[in-house]
Every structure is written in structure tokens, then in C-alpha cells.
Structure 1
């Protein structure tokens, strides 16, 4: 892969300068706010590994057996300091085992080099995405790898993923950290996104991005975990790209209108400045067969984190995505300081975008209001789909508390709201064996009962979400909120 040295040098953009440190004001303001707002418990620090059995309310489906792997940030505080952004926390991997109607759980920190160095020192040493720290030199991307975004079962192994560096392998049973995974010697420490896409043949597409490098790295891997194709795609004014989508013939990325302005004592997150008044949202389309740029589309400026799915429709590609008005990146960090953001400040919506290659135009159709974490059944990834799972917010504040399946043809929504006191995490669609439709299966996820400070596994019949969960598996403790995960059927 060409330009690897340059790619890695840009990965450290904004992550090192002189001597500024994380301050204690964030720590104090958060704990002051936490005393009067139980919902902030979801952003509280976690200090150790956990294990326990869940109490099941309802009946766990007899044909639902497997492991739900999850990952998210768990350590936000050390030595009296607190990180400034939700994306900064050290990874806390979780394993929900569903077997014969019973549910057990374990959770443990991913023992990255960063986590071990800082645990030994008793304080933060390395820069984080949204918090500038400069106490120890950064050798490469993996010096600051927090392994906190996804947990991927692939080819008999399990990987903790973080978009800025290597995958970190963990034990599938115990979640003990096995170490950094280098897919190929020349790819050592290269960014490997936390949102790979599994193809029907068992292979995998992924990308790597270093904000400020103006290059996207593309990876194609076979079912055996071997890298078979790579490419470097020049993309001007490239910034943070968190997710992408794969259709039958294309890889599609959305680049939000941020400008990179690095400087002394500035974190990577703070170096990204919203430029939506001057720049558009860009759709970057790459052809699968050539791994070359095919076309660029421009849309009204919005920010974006997550996609649902994409498929070819004649001479067009259709894709589902959640778009946020304005600068959502900065708003995501507010709860870390004890502030809950309002929907009116940053509304989001799930839309279907149609990319018309002949006209060069992109059209949008809104499908759902305030929402996040879109998912589809695994068997329809990159193909025509008609059902889209999203989380929603039933109140004025952007607290995700509902589970919804959208019929993308009719626009009808089958949904259930947990209501006040709950914060719902990403849910996934799980097909029954031999499933004949996109709702022939289950919806499984995790919800935080903030009033009881307990984490709860939730199970829905995918064909009837509005009836509510068919089973709830309640832990006797609170586990950290996760970003993403995947279910591995037994």
C-alpha cells in the first residue's frame, strides 16, 4: 500500500504539541451534575471487570442461543481528571451469553498498551480524540488505541475495534486481551475502521482513515481473514469518517463539512471546525471492481455517524443513513461535562438517499425522526432490503428510548418506547435459522435502567415490536454503555 508513512504521520494530527493536560474542571462539573440527574449515570466512570447472571422476566425464545458481543468506552476518569468527550474512554468489552433460556454476562477492559501504561502511572498519559494530553510520546496510532467502538466476531476470533488504529484480539470466552492484530506486515498500525461490512460470502470490506491525510485506505479480506485487495483513494478535505456502506457494486462514504485546523495544545476533535455554511456534505462513491473513485455527489450540509444499508436500483444506488443537522460531533461530548443536549439543538433523521449517476444528483426521502444506530438483517447487507431497524427518541431531549422497525417501502413504523428513566443502546436484527423474511427473527439489544442503575438485555419478536419485549434479562449491576456489537449464533 503506497504512502503508508505519510498516512500514519497524518494520523497523529493534533495529537501532540507541548505540555497542556486534561483539567479537573470537567471532573468536578460532571459529578456535581450527576448528583441531580440519574440519566448521566450512563456516562459515569467504570472501575473494574464484572460478571454475573441476569434475572429473566418473560420467556427467552428457545431458538435464540448465542453470544451478543458489545464494546464501548468504560474508563473516563483517572488521577482526578476526566476526559472531555464520550469517544475518549478506554474500551470495555462485554459478552452476553444466551443459552437455554438463561443469560449471563461478563465485562472487562481491553488491556491495550495505553490502558496498561496509564493504569500503572495512575494518570492519563496519551492524547485522546477530544482531550488534549501530552505526558508521554506517541510512537504510532496504536500508542493511543482505546479499542472502544465495536466487538467483531470474525473467522473464529473476536476483535475489539477502534477506527484510528489496529484491531485488538480478545479471547472469545473470557474477553482477555490477546494483543494487536496485524493483518499484513505492511499494514502494521494502520487505521482499521470499527464498522467493517461482512459480505454474503463471509468476506469483509473495511477502510482506514486518518483525519487530515486526505486519503482513504480500502481493505478487502476473504473469509479466512486474509487481505486480498487494498487501495489508497485521494479525497480532498477529508476529515473524520466513522462508517460507510456497501452495495452490490460500490463502497459509499459521506464526508461531513469539517475543516481541519490543528494547533498547539489542541485535541484532534477540537481541531475539527464545522464549515457547513460554506461546504456541502459529500457522497464519495468507489467502484468495487476497480477500487477507484467513480463519482462525487453534493448534498446539503449535515453531519453523519451511521449508515443502514445500500443496494443498486437500476442506474442508481439507494442507501439509508442517519443525518444530523449541524455539528453533532461536538454535541455528543456534552454529557461528559454534565450537560444533556436538546433535540432542538441538533435534530437528526433517518433518510434514504438516491444517488443518480446519470444526472449527478442526489435525492433524499425522510423516513423517521430523531434516531440513530440503523441496522438491517445480516442476510440483506449490500442487497435490496425492506426493513430498517433504528432507535428513536420519544421525548424532547435526545435520549434514545425506543426501538423501531421501518418498512422502507410503505414508511410504516412498528415501534416500542421504554419511556422515561431508560436509555436504549444499539439493537441488532437476528434471523431465525432458515428465515424467510426480514422480520423472521428477533431484535436484541441492551437498555440502561438509569433509575435502578442496572443494565438490561432486551429481546423483541422482530415481527411485532409494538407488543414490547418478549423477554428482559436484568443484571444486578450497571455495565458501561456500549457503542456497537454483533451477535454470534450458537
Structure 2
């Protein structure tokens, strides 16, 4: 990859420039708010590795056996200082073992270079996504890799992912850190997104971006973990891209209208300025050539997560959760003691139709305030009719419900946990030999903030409204996770 060096230089520059220092005022503000608001325990700092046996209430299905891997930020405070943004925290990997009617759990920090050096120093040293710290220089992306976004089982191994740098391998059983993964020597330290998509042949697609480089890196790995294809695609005004979808013939990216400034002494988050005068762009890349095929435009919205995509004749259809306005800013506010979640911006799950002949993109609303869309693994990149999302049933817009949408009829099968709960991403797990998209289970984690406990939840995918078949309560609170995957 001839322009890899330029790509990496832009990435390191984007991470090295940051805003106001992590400070004791942020620390004090959060803890003052925490004293009177139990919901904020979801954002509290975590200090060490944990392990324990869950107490199972209800009945775990006899055929549900496997490991639910999860990952998210766990350390937000060090040396009396606190990060400003939720995305800044050091990765805390989690492993939920399910089988024989029992559930066990382990969680441990990913021992990245950053985590190890800062632990030894007793204070933050490096810049983070939304917090300026400039006590030590940044060599490349992996100097500041927090490995905090997803946990991916692949080819017999498990990887902690962060979209700004390399994957970090961890032990599948103990979660002990094994080290950075370089997929190919010329791809060392290249950004490798936290949202890879599996192919039916057992391989996967992934991408990477660098702020300011205006280049999109594409990777195709086979089932053995070898990079078989890769490309760099020029995309003007490219900024933070968190997720993408893969259809039968295309890779599709949604690029929100942020202007990326070159301001010194501001964080990457603060360099991204919302510009509602520009559209939300839908960038379509052809799988066969890895070349840009077409760009569509939609009204300005921000986006984190997409669901699935499939070909429908001469069109492609895909699901996305679109937020009105700048959702990026809202996700950071809990760190300073204010009551906000990702769902704070009015958001809706929509199905987007891309009509290549007319060059027009149309959207149809599927659900209201929502996030974290998932489909059954066997329908990824193919026609699907069921989409799982979290929703917010109350006025405070806290994600507290599990919802399975029928994308054809519009019907929704829902269950709301209610006040005192914060629900994390849930996934669909098929039964062996599943014949439909509801032939299986919905597995996830919810935080019972009143008891300060993390709870594994299991639903019958055919009947969400009946409530959980089983709840597996830990005797402690584990950090909130962003993403994860179930491995049977």
C-alpha cells in the first residue's frame, strides 16, 4: 500500500491534537452527580479484573451453550483526573460463559501499551478521543490504542478492536492480552475498524479511516485470517466512520456532515464541527472491483450504527439508526456528571433504499428512539426481515427496551425493563439448524443501576414481549460495554 505512510501520519496527527486537559474539576463534577443519581453508575470508573458466578433466575435454554464476548471502556479516572468523553476509557474485555444451566463471568483490562505505561506512571499520559493530554509523544496509532470497542472471535482467536488502530489479541479463555495483531507486514498499525462483517465463507470484510487523510482503507480477510484483497479509496471530507454494511455486491458507508478542522490543542472530537448545510452521504463501493461505484445524498443526520444490507433487484436496501443533529457531542456528557445517553438526540431506525438508476436514496421509518441494530448472523449481507434494536420507553431517553422489528410489516415485538435499568447491545443467536430469523434467542446485558449489578438476559426470539426466559445476575457491576459477539 504505497500511501500507507501518509495515511498513518494523518491518523497520528488527528490523535495528538486535543482539547482541555483531563482535570480534577471533571472528576469532582462527576462524583458529585453520582452521589444523587444512581443511573450514572453505568459510567463509573472500574479499577480491577473481576470474576464470578451469576445467580440464574428463570430457565436457561438447554441448547444455549457458548461464550458471549463483550468489550467497552472501563477506566475513566487516574491520578485524580477524569476523562471528558465516554469513548476515551481503556478497554475492559468481558467473557460470559453460558452452559448447563449456569453462567460465569470474567472481566479484565486489555493490557495495551497505553494502559500499561499509564498504570505505571499513575496518571494519564496520552491524548484520548475527547480529552487533551499531552504529557508524552505519540509515535503511531497504536501508541494510543485503547482496544475498547468490540470483542471479535475469529479463526479460533479473539480480538479486542478499536477503530483507530490495530486489533489486539486476547486469550479466548482468560482474556489475558497476547499483543497487537498485524494482518500483513505492510499493514502494521493501520486502522482496523471495530465493526468487521462476516462473509458466508467464513472470511470477513473490514475498513479503516484516518482523520484528514480522505482515504478509506478496505480489507478482505479469508477464513484463515489472511488479507486476500485490500484497497485505498479517495473520499472527500472523510471523517469519523464507525460502522458499515455489506450486501451481496457492495460495501456501504454513511458519512455524516462534519467539518474536520486542523486546530491545535483541541481533541479529535472537538475538531469535528457539525455542518448541517452538507448532506449525509451514502458511499457505495463495489465488492468485485473495490472501486467507488456511487454516492447518494440524504438530509444531514449523524450516525453510529447500521444494521444489514441486501440487494433488491436494481436497488440496495439497508438499515441505519439516524440521529438528528450532532449525536457525537451527547455521548460525552455523562462523563461530566450530566444525565445523557447515546439516545439523547432524537433518533430513529430507518430502512434506506438506494436506487442506482435514478441516483436517489429514499428512507422509510421503522422505529423511534433506538440504537444498536443487529440481525441473525446467517442473514448478514442477504435478505432479512427481522431487525433487533434497543429502544427508550421513558421520557429520559435511556435505552431500556429490547425490540424485534419486522421490516416488512412494521410490527414490533418489545419488552421494556423500565426505570432503574440501562440496557446494553443485545444479539440474535440462532438455534442449531435454525429455519427462520426468530428460531433462536436474544442474548444481552443490562445494568440494574439500583442494585449496582450487571445482568445477562436471555429472551426467546419468537416472543420478546413475554420477557426474559432467564436473568443471570452477577454479584457486582461490570463496566458498560459497546459491542460483542456470541460464539457457540
SS at match of 1:84: coil
Query: CA 1:477–1:203 in 2, change beyond 3 Å: closer, same or farther?
Result: same
Match of 1:447 in 2: 446
Count of residue correspondences: 488
Match of 1:382 in 2: 381
Q: How does 1:58-69 map to 2 (within 5 A)?
A: 58-69=58-69
User: Is the CA contact (8 Å cut-off) linking 1:14 and 1:266 kept in structure 2?
Assistant: no
Counterpart Cα distance in 2 of 1:304 and 1:97: 32
CA offset at residue 99 of structure 1? 1.3
Match of 1:168 in 2: 168
Counterpart Cα distance in 2 of 1:137 and 1:393: 42
Counterpart Cα distance in 2 of 1:19 and 1:209: 21
CA offset at residue 262 of structure 1? 2.4
TM-score by length of 2: 0.99
Match of 2:396 in 1: 397
Match of 2:350 in 1: 351
SS at match of 2:13: coil
Match of 1:363 in 2: 362
Shifted more, 466-475 versus 391-400: the winner is 391-400
Q: How does 1:273-352 map to 2 (within 5 A)?
A: 273-276=273-276, 278-341=277-340, 346-352=345-351
CA offset at residue 342 of structure 1? 8.0
User: Is the CA contact (8 Å cut-off) linking 2:79 and 2:124 kept in structure 1?
Assistant: yes
Unaligned runs of 5+ in 2: none
Query: CA 1:262–1:307 in 2, change beyond 3 Å: closer, same or farther?
Result: same
SS at match of 2:129: coil
Counterpart Cα distance in 1 of 2:343 and 2:186: 47
Match of 1:11 in 2: 11
Counterpart Cα distance in 1 of 2:41 and 2:24: 19
User: Is the CA contact (8 Å cut-off) linking 1:393 and 1:402 kept in structure 2?
Assistant: yes
Counterpart Cα distance in 1 of 2:486 and 2:344: 34
Q: How does 1:18-97 map to 2 (within 5 A)?
A: 21-97=21-97
User: Is the CA contact (8 Å cut-off) linking 1:38 and 1:450 kept in structure 2?
Assistant: yes
Per-residue CA deviation, residues 154-197 of structure 1 (Å, 9 max, x unaligned), is 00000000000000000000000000000000000000000000
CA offset at residue 397 of structure 1? 1.6
User: Is the CA contact (8 Å cut-off) linking 2:19 and 2:266 kept in structure 1?
Assistant: no
Match of 2:372 in 1: 373
Match of 1:187 in 2: 187
Q: CA RMSD in A?
A: 1.2
CA offset at residue 21 of structure 1? 3.0
SS at match of 1:142: helix
TM-score by length of 1: 0.98
Query: CA 1:389–1:105 in 2, change beyond 3 Å: closer, same or farther?
Result: same
Counterpart Cα distance in 1 of 2:76 and 2:343: 27
User: Is the CA contact (8 Å cut-off) linking 1:351 and 1:364 kept in structure 2?
Assistant: yes
CA offset at residue 310 of structure 1? 0.2
Per-residue CA deviation, residues 208-235 of structure 1 (Å, 9 max, x unaligned), is 0112110000000000000000000000
Match of 2:261 in 1: 261
Q: How does 1:235-246 map to 2 (within 5 A)?
A: 235-246=235-246
User: Is the CA contact (8 Å cut-off) linking 2:83 and 2:335 kept in structure 1?
Assistant: yes
Match of 1:147 in 2: 147
Query: CA 1:133–1:343 in 2, change beyond 3 Å: closer, same or farther?
Result: closer
